[in-house]
Structure 1
Amino acid sequence: MTFKNKHSFISGFLGAALLIASSCALGGCTEIADEPQGIDDAGNGTPLTIRATASGFVSCVQGDTPATRTPTENGYTTEFNDGDAIGIFALKEYATPDVTPVDGVYNLKLVYTKAADGSGSWAPASGDTHVLYSYDDLVYVAYYPYREGITIKQDIETEIFKDLAANAKLQPAADQSTPAAYTGSDLMAAFARPATDPTDANKKVLTLAFEHLHALLVLKTNKLFNCTPPAGAGFEYSDPMLGADATAKDAVINGIKALPMGDGTFRAIVKTASADIVPTGNYKTTGDKTVLYTGASLAAATFTAGKYYTQQVNMLESPDESVIRPLQEGDFFCSNGKISPYEANSFSSPVIGVVFYVGRHPEDNGVYVDKNGNPMEVHGYVINRSEGTDQWHNGGGTDFGTYKSTTDFNGYFNTDKLQAISAGYNDMMTYVRKQTNSPQTTSGWFLPSIGQLIYIKKKYAEVISKSFDKCGGAMGRGWQHHYWSSTEATAANSYNINWDSGTYSQKNKSSGSMVRTALAF
């Protein structure tokens, strides 16, 4: 998709400083020939440099994925385009609600021009000689998109914004299925006073921090896909995955023809309401089949200006397409020895763990055999969804010959060394031996090395925790919040990891900690 949005929805400058100059300055002059009139201290007016910022849409549902006007996850460029226009008012800031325009700057149209080098500037339309200046007690109000005939009734910021949001000329379009119609529906406004440029005390700047006056509804369409591993991957999938429905089209969101984003999502700018609203509408999918949807009610007090809500629709009919999908961290490992993708909607076989590393780690010296005694290749590592609590060893200070590195993935090798611990001891190896639910084609459960635990912790918040949220078995909730590794430090001590802080340290082997096993497949 080549659609480039016209405005940034990430806080920050939208390009370089934007200078509003007189017609003389636009022609290359460096001095202002005429002093502006229309305000008591007109002779002290200073030309303004305009800077614009725009706030992002904020989710009205905690934990929802941020949705910007042009989604950064699709790598689209966000930029102003030639011809974009805002309207701006220069007002004397009287104490009474009176609107007195200054220098004739009342709904003045400022047009954006983009240079070949990517920089841009704002100026009045061709032939317009208005200049924006800085005076005492002066306030500027700006809005996007520019419309002719816009008026404001008072100089109170919140009331002006309410008037703009209610203006019939600035309402969201009923058809937003094109980029121009969509961006033209996204009313924004800013209210600012000139200030001294922090980089040059002799200059004045006007920073227009635009905010959204309408809200955003996002429709995310999904359907099921069969998953196929890459050739020679060494594993199988047991379940289909939910993925974006690229065939979805002609979406309607609350009566508005929505903008297709090219990734199975659609967007519509909507006016906020005094009553609760319910996301509802339809779209077409494969074979021009019409899908109807109705979401949960959104409270009017929550779904306010500048907020967005994502309505997800999952079509769970038998998949008619397949995708080649590599193994990923966060995928589910099932009791049948197969993989259920993270995007699966349900599990056909019980999940016993989560993939935390793909492929064989370069610092793994183990000689792997599966539970049938056959040599095996390592395609990935899995952390168990179950855990227990035990001593490392209560039989005295013995060095069992495990690797001492704090970075390696030698949990399998180390656990093999720990088989020398007698089954009569009540310690963590007793717990490991009781974990028998691993498939015959795997290594069986072993105690991970400290390097493996450190890696799991590093990836936990980003990936692994989300998988445990779906299948159960979150880590770090036991009484100790510490996990034993199979890595010995000395004859008396072994390494464990503090799950709260992510730090690791030596601990006496007779101490108690959490035990969570891993396997290779």
Structure 2
Amino acid sequence: MKYPKHSFFILFYFCITLAILLPVASGCTDESEEAMETGIPATNMPVPLIVHSTVKNFTNENHLSDQDAASSGQPATRVPIEDGNITKFSEGDAAGIFAVRNIGTSTGVIVDNINNTKLLYGTSSEGSTWTPEAAVTLYYYEDVTYVAYYPYKENITIDPTKSVNEITASFATKTELQPATDQSTGELYTASDLMTASGQATDSSDPTKKTLSLAFTHSYSLLVLKTNVAKAKYKAPDGSFKYHPKVTALNADATATDVVIMDIKAYKIANGVFRALIKPAPGDYISGSYTTHKMLIKYNEALAGMAGLAAGQLFEYEVNVPIPGTTGATERALQVGDFYFADGTIWPGGIDTAEADPPKTIKDSPIGVVFMVGALHDGDRPSGGLYFGDPLISAYECKHGLVVSKDGISTSQKWSENPESVAYWLQDNPYLDLSSNILVDTGTLQGYTNTKVLEYYADNSSSGSQLHIISNIRQFRQYNPAPANSSGWYVPSYGEMSLIVSGKGKDTGTAGLTLLNAQLGKVYFGLKLNQYPFWTSSEYSGTQMIGVNTDTGAIQIELKANPKSMRPVLAF
């Protein structure tokens, strides 16, 4: 089975350097030509070269030297599983070094037979040091350039007549120094991490010694794959509604195996974290595969904004594999401010949640925001005395709450062209067993029933075509489908509109409006509630309807003939 891939983030790190300090001591500073050719100083008192090292990681941040790390109790090792992206050397590591006089000229020549001389890393009374092979000594000469590489391989040669840059670049062309196709162990991975450096000796604080500073840089690119499993983070207490499938908790996938990155068997440095070194290439993608939960996962992703990977560059890629079910998910009740999606799922957007802002990848999907939590059936009376009691809503089993649309209807049309009272018309044309005064509600949350009554009037009255509030809500439904398990969009009653604005039902104030506008501002194309007053489905008389002032939260009697805006709501 192949799961879709998800990219969560991409990081690049440049200028990866490993600074190697080589304090040099020689018997004298006035060498003869014989000393230059034979390696024996004129004083006949050679001083052995002591090589120390300091390191930098991929982010180019300074870190403790190996010597300091050891004294501070921190690991002084280059094993990646311990140091992440930090480059350090470990006991027994070997580097090769060349000494070249007149480098980059036709007279360039290897000096003192320092020709792929092996240096070993270890500890001594001098601290962490690099020591040449037995019977080999490095000396200081003014016109000698040292070129080094890591890891050491036998039979590596250079052309001393080439420039420093040409020589260091040539190491990456050597067959022996290519990144391995199998880097699945620490040893294989480390052996693929080619680094090069060059430099000339300088004076030190000790007049009997000279210092050679070599700044190593990585020759290859580092790719890091992070494998995660994405499990449901929340579940409804009674399981009656579902959270959005992307509301997940990511955990490192400890079961990921057989990881391949760009045709290379990758090295596991921690659960769900793998890495591989590759040659810099102009390609603009990363690809590979791995096995988890009896599934073969394949991935192929473009390197955003890049034409390829450069030497010393790090690229991280994350694969999140969704695991179905809600096992282990935390129970979370619906909250005002949650986001409601077209498939009826919820994205936690409550004020106290960490998921207050949906990811940009799905930001255009919410269709509204929850503004009331609770059932809408006859008899409920929440705190504050707001009487719910919508006579018809229970038929849809909408027991979770109310949602205000992220979009609205802003129109110059009137509530109605006809001054006729719908309540008066209902006396002779009853709708079901509802009272003819049903539209003259007292602040109940019965916009669904009100809208049904108004639609009945629009379809059966000779003046129904002039009821613009219904033609507008019907057009809105056509272009903004609601989930099948909801009531569908309807015109809110003044009680519902008051609740949207005040957040407290039949009360003044704009706390609800402030909260909802903050949430609507997080949704693409979210239209804030800043046009007042709004149409409602509550009728006051033949010529008037009941509106709500969004500046104060107070009800406001408005003429039906005046143009208004309207914000649909639904129950679910």
- Which residue number corresponds to residue 114 of structure 1? 123
- Choose from 259, 265, 271 the match for 2:273: 265
Matched position secondary structure for 1:295: strand
Note closer, same or farther for the CA distance 1:175–1:123 as it changes in structure 2 (3 Å cut).
Answer: same
**1:46, 1:204 within 8 Å by CA — same for their partners in 2?**
no
Q: Which amino acid aligns with 2:37?
A: G
Q: Which amino acid aligns with 1:209?
A: A
Note closer, same or farther for the CA distance 1:174–1:259 as it changes in structure 2 (3 Å cut).
Answer: same
- In 2, Cα distance between the equivalents of 1:20 and 1:180? 31
Does residue 194 (structure 1) correspond to residue 195 (structure 2)? The answer is no
Mapping of residues 298-377 of structure 1, within 5 Å: 302-318=308-324, 322=328, 334-335=348-349, 339=353, 341=355, 372=383
- Which residue number corresponds to residue 279 of structure 1? 286
Q: Which amino acid aligns with 1:306?
A: G
**1:163 deviation in Å?**
1.0
Q: Which TM-score applies when normalising by structure 2?
A: 0.48
- In 2, Cα distance between the equivalents of 1:214 and 1:470? 42
**1:252, 1:258 within 8 Å by CA — same for their partners in 2?**
yes
- In 2, Cα distance between the equivalents of 1:47 and 1:307? 36
- Choose from 239, 250, 255 the match for 1:247: 255
**1:213 deviation in Å?**
0.9
**1:298 deviation in Å?**
7.5
Note closer, same or farther for the CA distance 1:76–1:57 as it changes in structure 2 (3 Å cut).
Answer: closer
- In 2, Cα distance between the equivalents of 1:317 and 1:471? 27
- Which residue number corresponds to residue 136 of structure 2? 130
- In 1, Cα distance between the equivalents of 2:331 and 2:23? 50
**1:285 deviation in Å?**
0.9
Does residue 38 (structure 1) correspond to residue 44 (structure 2)? The answer is no
Q: Which amino acid aligns with 2:164?
A: E
- In 2, Cα distance between the equivalents of 1:282 and 1:189? 31
- In 2, Cα distance between the equivalents of 1:164 and 1:314? 37
Note closer, same or farther for the CA distance 1:73–1:132 as it changes in structure 2 (3 Å cut).
Answer: closer
- Choose from 106, 112, 120 the match for 1:103: 112
Note closer, same or farther for the CA distance 1:216–1:76 as it changes in structure 2 (3 Å cut).
Answer: closer
Q: Which TM-score applies when normalising by structure 1?
A: 0.52
- In 1, Cα distance between the equivalents of 2:39 and 2:200? 17
**1:334, 1:349 within 8 Å by CA — same for their partners in 2?**
no
**2:55, 2:88 within 8 Å by CA — same for their partners in 1?**
no
- Which residue number corresponds to residue 290 of structure 1? 296
- In 1, Cα distance between the equivalents of 2:501 and 2:358? 27
**1:225, 1:320 within 8 Å by CA — same for their partners in 2?**
yes
Does residue 185 (structure 1) correspond to residue 192 (structure 2)? The answer is yes
- In 1, Cα distance between the equivalents of 2:329 and 2:206? 57
- In 2, Cα distance between the equivalents of 1:218 and 1:50? 32
- In 2, Cα distance between the equivalents of 1:94 and 1:337? 67
- Which residue number corresponds to residue 166 of structure 1? 173
Matched position secondary structure for 1:292: strand
- In 2, Cα distance between the equivalents of 1:468 and 1:217? 39
- Which residue number corresponds to residue 227 of structure 2? 221
- In 1, Cα distance between the equivalents of 2:269 and 2:112? 42
> Identity rate of aligned residues, in percent?
34
- In 2, Cα distance between the equivalents of 1:252 and 1:192? 37
- Which residue number corresponds to residue 413 of structure 1? none
Q: Which amino acid aligns with 1:38?
A: E
Note closer, same or farther for the CA distance 1:196–1:343 as it changes in structure 2 (3 Å cut).
Answer: farther
**1:99 deviation in Å?**
4.2
- In 2, Cα distance between the equivalents of 1:351 and 1:261? 44
Note closer, same or farther for the CA distance 1:178–1:12 as it changes in structure 2 (3 Å cut).
Answer: closer
Q: Which amino acid aligns with 1:256?
A: I
- In 1, Cα distance between the equivalents of 2:331 and 2:222? 32
**1:47, 1:204 within 8 Å by CA — same for their partners in 2?**
no
Stretches of structure 2 that go unaligned for 5 or more consecutive residues are 1-14, 28-33, 61-77, 236-241, 333-337, 340-346, 371-381, 386-405, 407-497, 526-572
Matched position secondary structure for 2:324: coil
- In 1, Cα distance between the equivalents of 2:331 and 2:126? 38
- Choose from 146, 150, 153 the match for 1:144: 150
Matched position secondary structure for 2:170: helix
Q: Deviations over 1:11-64 (max 9, x none)?
A: 6767xx666789xx9xxxxxxxxx9552699438765443445554469xxxxx
Q: Which amino acid aligns with 1:315?
A: V
Mapping of residues 323-472 of structure 1, within 5 Å: 334-335=348-349, 339=353, 341=355, 372=383, 436=501
**1:216, 1:267 within 8 Å by CA — same for their partners in 2?**
yes
Q: Which amino acid aligns with 2:166?
A: E
- In 2, Cα distance between the equivalents of 1:293 and 1:351? 34
Note closer, same or farther for the CA distance 1:77–1:335 as it changes in structure 2 (3 Å cut).
Answer: closer
Stretches of structure 1 that go unaligned for 5 or more consecutive residues are 1-8, 26-34, 60-68, 230-235, 354-370, 375-385, 387-432, 449-466, 474-521
CA RMSD after TM alignment: 5.0
Note closer, same or farther for the CA distance 1:37–1:279 as it changes in structure 2 (3 Å cut).
Answer: same
Q: Deviations over 1:335-358 (max 9, x none)?
A: 5678364897858978989xxxxx
Q: Which amino acid aligns with 1:263?
A: N
Note closer, same or farther for the CA distance 1:83–1:73 as it changes in structure 2 (3 Å cut).
Answer: closer
**2:287, 2:301 within 8 Å by CA — same for their partners in 1?**
yes
